Amino acid sequence: MLFTRLRNLYNENKVLAEEYPLDQYYPLLQNFISKEVDLGAEYLSPYRFALSFSKPSKEAIRFFLGLTDSIDILEQYYKYECDECGRINIIKDEEALINFKCKKCGFEDHLTTSDYLSEVKLLFKINEELSEEVKKNLKDNPLSKVQESSSAVLEGGADIDVTFKTAEELIYKDGKPIGKQAVDRDERMKKYRDIL
């Protein structure tokens, strides 16, 4: 269940627990995941989360970065559009991101510093087991039409994916990192960038 997964994470991550209190954020996340899974989503957008609950998007992104500390909740993926053919490549492995090879056309790209920051997007994939639980739950207790119609719709052109750069800027707040995974990833990426 989401609650147990979240509570376990909160026991480990005190910054998350302090900034995003469990009693407030558990119901929001529960509601959001149910709605998104009901719409067929595999990946969750913090921008949609922000819109759903009238929160600042930066706050929502930082929350999601903290949630990636638990792969029982969210898994981090990368999204990169091929320069050659435009194919959206979804990549799990960081090495495969750095030594990019398009799944469709085979175009190879070594991401340079500036491209890297501006073009790589972070995706937040719902843990598969959790997603299955939510689906089962939805089958037993379908969302009412009222809830469905109130689910957030992003306006045309609005951001839906988090850029690497945005994430990088939100890892630290008042000197406190939101999560170990986010910090580790950022450090690895900086190292890769130095090598390039």
Rank residues 91 and 171 by Cβ distance to Zn ion and give the closer one.
91
Best CA proximity match to 2, nearest among 23, 24, 22, 26: 26
Candidate ranges 6-14, 39-47, 103-111, 164-172; the one touching Zn ion (CB under 5 A): 103-111
Q: Give the nearest distance from C-beta 91 to Zn ion in angstroms.
A: 13
Candidate ranges 6-14, 16-24, 77-85, 184-192; the one touching Zn ion (CB under 5 A): 77-85
- 22-38 vs 2-12: helix axis angle to the nearest 10? 140
84 is a site residue for Zn ion (CB under 5 A): yes
Best CA proximity match to 38, nearest among 124, 152, 122, 158: 152
Number of residues counted as binding Zn ion (CB under 5 A):
8
What's the Rg (C-alpha) of the chain? 17
102 is a site residue for Zn ion (CB under 5 A): yes
Q: Which residues contact 189 (CB under 8 A, 6 or more apart)?
A: 94, 116, 164
Interface pick for Zn ion out of 74, 82, 182, 189 (rule CB under 5 A): 82
85 is a site residue for Zn ion (CB under 5 A): yes
Q: Which residues contact 175 (CB under 8 A, 6 or more apart)?
A: none
153 is a site residue for Zn ion (CB under 5 A): no
* Residues of this chain that bind Zn ion (CB under 5 A): 82, 84-85, 87, 102, 104-105, 107
